[in-house]
Structure 1
């Protein structure tokens, strides 16, 4: 009916002219720069794949490898170059230019793809976009030069910002990351260079050399309990030696991958079985049997080995636990109580109209004051102290276990540098969903692959991702509800008013 009426009386059904979109353009907001951390890895040549675990260590010894930097502002290319040269002095010697690369997703060795520089070179904005706001590591690759891979001296400029410790054997001070390898070589050279040439002494030398490795041979079944016991029974090896792992019944020679897998599983298993809490941090579970067995000391020795030999950091401790380890001081609040029983008691005290109903439980926590409603703060403080003070023998055992590699001394000297290895990021960090999160929860119902509709839908998805990223980079981020139908992606309505963004006009 409507169609026929338009044909018969076109004068009455003329479409109203569309208003120019220029009048409805939203004003551009001034760009608010938010500082972010990102990781870069300086490679020694123009490789097309990411380095292996063994190559990571060689790069680190040569003053190359991974560094974590902070981008405080939208830097120019020259400022970015100065930032990189500050942590990689060898980068100053490159005369043939360099480019940034990033790796594809997945594990193991991955292919690298170039990050194209802008007209003015690499800027803070381009690095922030390429790294996903610091979530993706970038690789610096020299185009025509090859950097020297010879190990540097321990006092080299490249190691000036790294935490250091002293080798007890030769009294050499060196970066903690290199100390594990040095200790093994230092022991080996000391044994080989003995002055006594007797045959018996030769046998002793061979035995001493074999001690340069700590061997763990274990099944995957009940891994945590068996490793804690076997770790304590080690006679020929020591935690300061290089760790070699064999899983019984599985073929394979440990060249570093098995060790990393083993340490990853152990750190995760210790976190689940011996600590309690949430994503903000965890405290040790109060267990007298584990304390008497020395399992907490063994657990933290595994943490130290993991930190020194390429495993993951135990980044799950409560900040008050780390503060006690680093300084011996106890500073806790009710939010630091992870024990379910005492956390529940604190909640009941706060909600109680008459705290005398909880007299027995309160007195058991060591509170000796009057049980009145206006004394709730003192009662809660007593519960908090009771719940945390009983953990101090466990924390003392953790401190004792960190003495290997002289790691405790390093923590006491540089607590701020070492804290990120043990304490997770807190809630004051920005955890607002970003563009990557929005795209990750979209589950499109696409048309048949290869069809024209599928091609258009893919183009719209790519555009939407670029659009959201631009919103995020400019500090303007809104939540979108994306409705995806069998062959239509209804996102046009969400884009009105944002025509000034380049991605909008390029679709």
Structure 2
């Protein structure tokens, strides 16, 4: 018998008594009987576990117990329905991949998928198999490179599939792919609009109440008006390309990405540091105009406020800097 301590039983105490979990401990209640009924799906014990909704009863269950629930859950209250081939939700069993062969895009021979990776890494190395790099064979060579890169992931995906099968999740994912997809794919890329771009811009203002701060606030107002104008003048049929200035391409110029971060944590921490240069005359001497400097690695832009006193000056300087500063150099 394991006697409790003053504070009751603890995990360390039970682990020591069971010799590190190798022994068996029996619980003998004194006044009550242990409840052996399964926990309800809304129990707090499942709060931190991944869940998915059952299509039949529309109840959210943890993934570990959802396969057991699906076997006993009825589709309707009257009688279970048999799934036929005509049912749109019916999915035919997938054939074994070992029964198929894939064509090598270089030599044209058929190989099983598990052997194609090793063949693709050596195909074309010998003189007899050598293919000259001409425009006729560019597509075949490109396909071989892409195929080789994809096949390198097959062992990793195979191990992942075996791990999912241990808990019965592989069959569950195959049957309810639309429910399980959000658990593995966080979302789709959404282009950044003017409001998002301006919201992630965090200016480093000068001392509060100073003349420099007033100028910097005016420049930030110019930036907000500029982004709103870009969004209003954007034509959806034109789309985004390196020479097309829009809120998303402007953000891509600053950070290297033109979409809103997909993961919630990345979206919260995503920001652009806006700095202000008041001493360009000291740095560059007498000059007519200088442009913003962008560091996409650190998500930083430094604005020369002397040349951005009015909105017209701000717009002209930023547009010229955007079109002339697509490469990794200083304009």
TM-score, structure 1 as length reference = 0.23
TM score, norm. by length of structure 2: 0.32
Question: Which one has the bigger helix percentage?
Answer: 1
Higher relative contact order (CA 8 A, sep 6+): 1
